[in-house]
Amino acid sequence: MKLNDLAKHLSLEVRGGDPEITGVSPLENAEAGDLSFVISRKWLAMAPKASALLVPPDLVDEARAERDVPVLISQAPALDAGRAALLLGGRVLEVIGIHPSAVIDPTARLSEGVTVGPLAVIGPEVVIGPNTKIFSGAVIHARCVIGSHCVIHSNAVIGGDGFGFEFIDGAHRRIPHLGIVRIEDDVEVGSGTTIDRARFGETFIGSGTRIDNLVQIAHNVHIGRFCVIVSQVGIAGSCRIEDGAVLAGQAGLVPHVTVGRGARVAASTGVAVDVPGGATWSGWWGGPHRENLAQINAVRKLPEFMKTVRAFMKSRESL
């Protein structure tokens, strides 16, 4: 497809020529005929052969000067790259409708347009809203409620028992978990993620939230709207994640903490106290990001500092 025709389909502005585009490729693999995308300045040097680039508005002039290729101006280059690939013949193969190997309890209620993949299991009295997709091997346990236009990826488990025990008479006694998981509309849950049912009441996921692969969400957790939870995050019981918060990979939360609205928790950060709304926290035992950077910088200077101390002590001894 000619670049100008592609731009019309995507409702994007073109700067430069009108080459023929045969496919979409990541920067490091781009060849002549490929469209690729740039999301930051440092990416510009990585596309020596691409015939055209999707770039954000603030990089248009620099991209044109440095790469000398036509550009499509996009507020969301990665998203528009995907849209372009679909226009150029790309497709995602997936099951449509109910696969015959899926196990669905007769008391479950599935709305119009629900997709259930191979070997998925839908338990008793589950409610699933319109146009939600349940991929292969996913398990939705009894009485859980999932909204419309959600995506539950392969081998996710929604509504398994939470991890709760009391040590009595020399043994761990399981605490019954009698609640449910409630997931609002337009939520995506990644492969291998587990969301435990509440002990009582609900474990809750708000609309528009995106949960990556291999995330653990414990019983009675409340996650707000439009949150992002990245791979290998562990959220202990009864935590509250407010609207728009971001938890980066391998962040870990102890029970009963709150991450405030719009807060960001960096990768591998341990959170033991409440994170204020809008704050950015990092560190193995989390705190404000700037303080953590100052501590890291100080630790890095310790070897040189110790040399200075030893030299000073040696000079004192000679006196």
For 78-131, the pLDDT digits (tens) are 999 999 999 998 776 676 899 999 999 999 999 999 999 999 999 999 999 999
Q: What pLDDT, on a 0 to 100 scale, did the predictor assign at position 284?
A: 76
Q: What pLDDT, on a 0 to 100 scale, did the predictor assign at position 40?
A: 86
CA pair distance 138, 197, nearest whole angstrom: 15
Task: Give the count of beta carbons closer than 10 Å to the beta carbon of residue 5.
Answer: 13
CA pair distance 288, 286, nearest whole angstrom: 7
Catalytic residue among 141, 219, 222, 256: 219
DSSP lists the bridge partners of residue 234 as 216, 252
Q: Where are the domains of the chain?
A: 3-87, 103-289
Answer whether residue 47 shows pLDDT above 70. Answer: no
Q: What is the average pLDDT across 22-42?
A: 89
pTM: 0.83
Q: What pLDDT, on a 0 to 100 scale, did the predictor assign at position 199?
A: 95
Average pLDDT, the chain: 92
Which tops the pLDDT comparison, 308 or 206? 206
In this structure, the strands spanning 133-134 and 252-253 are: unpaired
Q: Which contacts qualify for 234-242: CB closer than 8 Å, 24 or more apart? A: 237/162, 237/163, 237/164, 237/199, 242/277
Q: What pLDDT, on a 0 to 100 scale, did the predictor assign at position 105?
A: 98
Q: What is the average pLDDT across 193-198?
A: 98
Task: Give the count of beta carbons closer than 10 Å to the beta carbon of residue 304.
Answer: 9
User: What CATH topology corresponds to 3-87?
Assistant: 3.40.1390
Q: What is the average pLDDT across 128-146?
A: 97
Q: Is residue 99 flagged as an active site residue?
A: no
Tens digit of each residue's pLDDT (9 = 90 or more) over 186-195: 999 999 999 9
Domain 103-289 CATH (choose: 2.160.10.10, 3.40.50.150, 2.40.50.100, 3.30.1360.70): 2.160.10.10
Contacts of 152 by beta carbon, 8 Å cutoff, 6+ apart = 132, 133, 134, 135, 138, 140, 146, 158, 189
Q: What pLDDT, on a 0 to 100 scale, did the predictor assign at position 48?
A: 66
Q: What pLDDT, on a 0 to 100 scale, did the predictor assign at position 93?
A: 63
**pLDDT tier, 314 (very low <50, low <70, confident <90, very high otherwise):** confident
